[in-house]
Amino acid sequence: MLLLSSTALTATMTFMTGCDKDDDPVVEPNTIVKVAVDNGFSTLVSAVQTAGLEATLKGPGPLTVFAPTNAAFSAITVPSDPNVLKNILLYHTLGAKVEASQVLETPLTYGVLTANATDSVYVKRAGSNVFINGVKVDLANVQAVNGVVHAIGTVLLPPTGDMVQTVVSKGYDSLVVAVTLASTGAGSEPIATLLTTVKNVTLFAPTNQAFRDLLAALSLPNLAAIPKATLIAVLKQHVVTLRGFSTDLAEGQVLPTLAPSGLTVTLASGAKVKGPGNPAAVTISRVNIVAKNGCVIHEVAGVLRP
């Protein structure tokens, strides 16, 4: 029988051991990026790569990512500009690990990793559910080695300005005209200044069609034909003196406004609000548009009357 020498045997074992190591699969750390891949967030992963954020989300953390689903991304036009996309994704990212059990019924304000250091998101608990900017967390506490992931069904958009800048950018042209008219000339009040400086309030923004319907109902040619005192009173009826996302609304709730009478909320057949002068409740047609200074805008399909 042929025997290997000790030298030859050692060399053979070394070779075989080396082969075994080469054949071992490389195990990727369970970072936030891998969690997103493993849980089917393919659009998010693609967006992260496009925005150049892969290294950040594979970094040491700790981080919390509110991860929009593929369906959430399909509901918007995903920006092609990597820098814009990066800012949107960082708006979903906290520089700390926050699990669902840490969220309280009192809203918590968290800074995000966007380029603007003042950008914040607002997280709260209602019963067993957690909400961010009024959006429900559908799946919480998916653990990663560098943080935690919570799945949401909506892409959150960072604020682009104060309330006046936001209503301008969103195309509420008639509201802008009304605010301008109320804020200039004899008998005016600084509504425009208020909306650029106020913090933590809610604005119900009528659509352009809502203002056209109002003018038709009043048989007036344009907004300038409305007496200024009346216009100011109407605008004050739309400003709620607290920050409220759609998920903060409750049946029969009376929201305090800059006008004395407030707004009454109904939810039985879709979310609506009603001013004292409205013959019927007005539909809330779009919700949770975030402006700077902790302010929120909800679109309404009619003008709220004092």
Mean pLDDT along residues 291-306: 96
> 78-103 pLDDT, tens per residue?
998 999 999 999 999 999 999 999 99
pLDDT at 210 over 70: yes
Mean pLDDT along residues 275-295: 95
- The model's confidence at residue 5, banded by pLDDT at 50, 70 and 90, is very low
Give kind and range of the element (H or E) at residue 13.
helix 6-23
pLDDT at 23 over 70: no
Task: Report which of residues 137 and 6 the model is more confident about.
Answer: 137
What pLDDT score was predicted for residue 116?
87
pLDDT at 158 over 70: yes
Mean pLDDT along residues 218-225: 96
- Mean pLDDT over each residue of the chain, to the nearest integer: 90
Taking the model in full, what pTM does it have?
A: 0.86
> 99-153 pLDDT, tens per residue?
999 999 888 899 999 888 889 999 999 888 999 999 999 999 999 999 999 999 9
End-to-end CA distance of the chain: 106
Chain length of the chain: 306
pLDDT at 8 over 60: no
> 26-61 pLDDT, tens per residue?
678 889 999 999 999 999 999 999 999 999 999 988
pLDDT at 224 over 90: yes
Mean pLDDT along residues 2-21: 43
Mean pLDDT along residues 265-287: 95
235 is written with which tokens? 């605008």
What pLDDT score was predicted for residue 106?
86
What pLDDT score was predicted for residue 249?
95
